[in-house]
Amino acid sequence: MALAMHRTASTASPKILWELLLDKIESPERYVPDVTSAEILRRYADNAVERMMHGPGDPIHELIVWDARSMTIVFKLVDHPVYRGFVTNMILVTDSGCELDFTMNWQAKRGLDPADAPDWQAMLKVAVLKTIHMAESGFAGRQSD
C-alpha cells in the first residue's frame, strides 16, 4: 500500500491556498512533478469533475470532488491498471495560521515490488511546498500568466 502524507504550515491565507488548490484541479502540471497535461472530461454540478492527467507512465483518470466549507478536495482513481485509491488535499486552519496537507492512499491491485513504486512521499512533499511557495509569493489570482 502506498500511504504517504506531507503537511506544512503556511503564512498565506486559507483563501489564497484554496484558490490554488482549485487551480490544481484544472492545471495539475503547475503543482505536481512529472505531470505534463490534463483534460477535464466531464463536469458534475459545481463541485465535481472527471479528469485525465498525463505524464510518464499510465494516464491517471480521476473523479475529483471538493468542499469549500471544509477546504478539502478528494482525487479518486478511476480504472487505473495498477492502483486503486485516493488522494486528499486539505487546508487546516489553526490558531497560528494554516497548514496544507496532502495525503495519498493508493493500494496496488496486485503484487507490486515496493522497489518499483515511485517515491510518493517525495512527490507529495514537492507538491505541498510548491503550492505554499506559490501562495506566499503572490501567484494566486494570476494563474493565466
- Give percent helix, percent strand, percent coil of the chain, each to the nearest 5: 25, 45, 30
At the fourth CATH level, which superfamily is domain 2-136?
A: START domain (3.30.530.20)
Predicted confidence at residue 114, as pLDDT, reads 58
3-class SS of residue 142: coil
More confident residue, 21 or 116: 21
pLDDT digits (tens, 9 = 90+) for 72-123: 999 999 998 888 999 999 999 988 889 999 999 988 887 665 556 678 888 8
- Extents of the domains making up the chain: 2-136
pLDDT confidence band for 145 (50 / 70 / 90): very low
Q: How far apart are CA 71 and CA 14, in angstroms?
A: 8
Predicted confidence at residue 32, as pLDDT, reads 86
Across the range 56-85, mean pLDDT stands at: 94
- Lowest-confidence region among 58-62, 79-83, 128-132: 79-83
Predicted confidence at residue 141, as pLDDT, reads 52
Across the range 127-133, mean pLDDT stands at: 94
**Residue 143 above 60 pLDDT?**
no
Q: How many CB atoms lie within 10 A of CB 35?
A: 18
Q: How far apart are CA 132 and CA 57, in angstroms?
A: 27
pLDDT digits (tens, 9 = 90+) for 29-53: 998 888 999 999 999 989 999 999 9
Predicted confidence at residue 23, as pLDDT, reads 95
pLDDT confidence band for 2 (50 / 70 / 90): low
